[in-house]
Structure 1
């Protein structure tokens, strides 16, 4: 599988994780790290940079989700 295809799969996984907002954030981040490792991303600089971006996106999506929930519950 080409790196481009692997990155596409990671993007799909990120979208799924962002949709699963009720899930534990740390669990999602751990899943991303394990996925990268299993897919052979370790040592590939571009893929690791993408993984860091993916990780930040999950954190931001949780922050946004929590702020929306707080404002709607107020």
Structure 2
């Protein structure tokens, strides 16, 4: 169950990061959730990419751990 929570959290971060990158590339002035981050377009874009990558890594790690746990029980 705890790995399912990790997968969901990772998916949410991945979606937020991807949505933020797309929004920022279409309209450079709309920062979205990270509009408060100082530094302008490049810094916000980097933050969204980092959030998306972190979400993908978290979801992948949780899926791998869940598969290993299922294999031991079977």
What is the TM-score when the length of structure 1 is the normalising length? 0.51
Q: Please list every run of 5 or more consecutive structure 1 residues that lacks an aligned counterpart in the other structure.
A: 1-18
State how many pairs are aligned: 54
- Structure exhibiting the larger radius of gyration computed from Cα positions: 2
Q: Are 1:50 and 2:35 an aligned pair?
A: no
CA–CA separation in structure 2 for the residues paired with 1:58 and 1:22? 9
Report the CA distance between 1:44 and its aligned residue. 1.3
Spell out, residue by residue over 1:34-56, the C-alpha distance to the aligned partner (whole angstroms, 9 max, x if none). Answer: 5x743437x61111111101100
Calculate the aligned-residue CA RMSD, in Å.
3.2
Higher RCO, Cα 8 Å, sep 6+: 2
